[in-house]
Structure 1
Amino acid sequence: QIELITPTEESIHKALARAETLAQRGDASGAQEIYHAAATCLRNDITKNGGDDNYVRVALLARVLGQSGECQTSVGNVEDALTSFHEGIALLSPLVGNDEEDTEDTA
């Protein structure tokens, strides 16, 4: 039983590896349980935290959903995550002073 509280890239990769091992041993339901837990954790984390590093979580969520075969049914969830990510960026932009036009200058 893997318990993911705050999903980090490392913990998600470990969970995916564990799920893959279970799937190879024929324990599809055990693997799905891990995928579901990882995806739920990531979704909650994305919704709760917003912010600049959310793209990492969105990418991890897409990977979890892709590996679990849930991609078709969960496209809406990834879109929701991206929407909340972009809303977060929109809220942060005035504070940081980012202009979408001059992204080249940020060296």
Structure 2
Amino acid sequence: MRRVEFTVRGTKGDLYTCTFEREGNNLNAFCTCPDGRAGSYCKHRFALIEGNQSIVVSDNAHEVEEISEMIMGTDVEAAGIALAEAMDAVERAEEMLTKAKRDFARALRK
């Protein structure tokens, strides 16, 4: 098992522990913040996955780079790809909605 752990500072100054563990093709990530403990969206885990070292207060911020390597070939990588595709679809839909609203407003002025 490969494991890396960080102490991170939350937006209100509280300190939390984020842990990433890889075993085989499975990656688990835990955070001691309220959202992380509840199994909800935890911005600390996502920030670390995105490579953000600025929230790390422990002396191993340089290890944040290892997370992207730990993700490769795991279920988390597949879920991340699906998330990125869904976010792209939402962005395209928002652009289509904006255009449709503009077109509708123009049609009302003719």
Greater fraction helix: 1
Greater fraction strand: 2
Give the TM-score band, short-chain normalised: 0.3 to 0.5
Max Rg structure? 2
Per chain length, whose mean CA-contact separation is higher, i.e. which structure has more relative contact order (CA < 8 Å, sep 6+)?
Answer: 1
What TM-score comes out, normalization by structure 1 length?
0.33
What TM-score comes out, normalization by structure 2 length?
0.32
